[in-house]
Amino acid sequence: MSRFFSAKYASLQAYTPGEQPRDAEYIKLNTNESPYPPAPAVVSAAAREAERLNLYCDPACTELCKAAARLYGLGPENILPVNGSDEILYFSFMAFGDERHPFAFPDVTYGFYPIYANVNHVPAHIIPLREDFSIDPEDYCNLGENIVIPNPNAPTGMALSVSRIEDILRTNPDNVVIIDEAYVDFGAESCVPLLGKYDNLLVTQTFSKSRSLAGARLGFGLGNPALIRDLNTVKYSVNPYNVNRMTQAAGVAAIESLDYYRKNCQAIAETRAYTIGELAKLGFETLPSLTNFIFTQSPAIPGGTLYQALKERGVLVRHFGQPRTENFVRVTIGSRPQMDAFLDAVRAILKERGL
């Protein structure tokens, strides 16, 4: 820390992103990216736009908002495009949280929530998951606090039904309820249809996973026009040109390539079922996932040991040090050949240890 660093950030614990190694070719199953490239029309739209990189981009993302409005069945005034959904989550903690307006979220969930709370001096109310790692919606009903829940949750992969989420929305009418739908396209129900009914609902989505655009950084906040206006006030106070030209063009083309992405999501759901089945034969217990990753554990080998042994064999997965989930690894669902390579590595690691 330099002697200039503000005391208000002295205790900040920054987020540790998943490894993006440059030292060797890994089978990368650690950051929930898509194994499939963006649709061809997306690549050419971004390339065309590259010729105009000398000019600032449209801060209002007009064309992208129009396309997203068609995709979600909403008006452009319900939509705020952002630099990855991380940004809309950060804007939300800035806009709606303060000393008197805490944010509640699960103990096992997306690691950025406690950090966003901390950096914005927003108290965090951490609510334990049930023993089986599911969220108990009752814990969030009548809470009188802002709430952020990923649906499906990460890293468990488990989802709530929209009707249970509706109970949370109905019983917290004076608080913002954020449903983080980063992984919704892989099988869970979206809360977007509830937007007309609840002015306290903010849905966040990303094009990083199902739309193969993690490197382009594109996410969306979807909500009541008044909420979107507040979030725009924050955006225009921080970084008006937050979604660059190439990403805006790529986003429009991605929305127009819906069939391509639907097919990829279907392939990932099939590969997920296959991988869970093969792991079960090896004694692994996997939580019921509706995402493009699985959270799995074996009674025979600690999660940290498995993570390390897989890395030595060129397969990267994610291991979180939290006590409740120490025995688990989170594995992104890649292509079928990638998952076969992962399963072969697991078999070899178990065999090596006489298991």
As given in the structure block, the two tokens for residue 198 are 């609840």
Minimum distance of ligand PMP from residue 92's CB (angstroms): 12
Query: For residues 191 and 261, what is the distance between their CA atoms, to the nearest angstrom?
Result: 20
Residue 206 within binding range of ligand PMP, rule CB under 6 A: yes
Stretch that binds ligand PMP, among 83-91, 242-250, 281-289, 341-349 (CB under 6 A): 83-91
Cα separation of 318 and 308, whole Å?
Answer: 10
- Bridge-based pairing of strands 79-82 and 219-223 is antiparallel
Residue 86 is a binding residue for ligand PMP (CB under 6 A): yes
Cβ proximity to ligand PMP: between 159 and 182 the closer is 182
Q: How far is the CB of 53 from ligand PMP (least distance, A)?
A: 22
What is the spatial distance between Cα 199 and Cα 195, in angstroms, rounded to a whole number?
7
182 binds ligand PMP (CB under 6 A): yes
Candidate residues 126, 162, 214, 267; the one interacting with ligand PMP per rule CB under 6 A: 214
Contact region with ligand PMP (CB under 6 A), list: 78-86, 117-125, 264-272, 332-340: 78-86
Q: Which residue has the tokens 């739908």?
A: 181
- Interface residue with ligand PMP, options 34, 172, 200, 208 (CB under 6 A): 208
Nearest-10 crossing angle of helices 85-96, 112-119: 40
> Assign residue 84 a region: left if phi > 0, alpha if psi is -120 to 50, beta otherwise?
left
CA distance 277 to 81: 38
Which of helix, strand or coil describes residue 241? Answer: coil
Is 185 near ligand PMP (CB under 6 A)? no
- Answer for which of 34, 85, 200, 264 binds ligand PMP (CB under 6 A) is 85
When binding is defined by CB under 6 A, the residue of 35, 76, 150, 334 that contacts ligand PMP is: 150
Classify the phi-psi angles of 132: left when phi > 0, otherwise alpha if psi is within -120 to 50, otherwise beta.
Answer: alpha
Binding site for ligand PMP (CB under 6 A): 84-86, 110, 150, 154, 180, 182, 206, 208, 214, 219
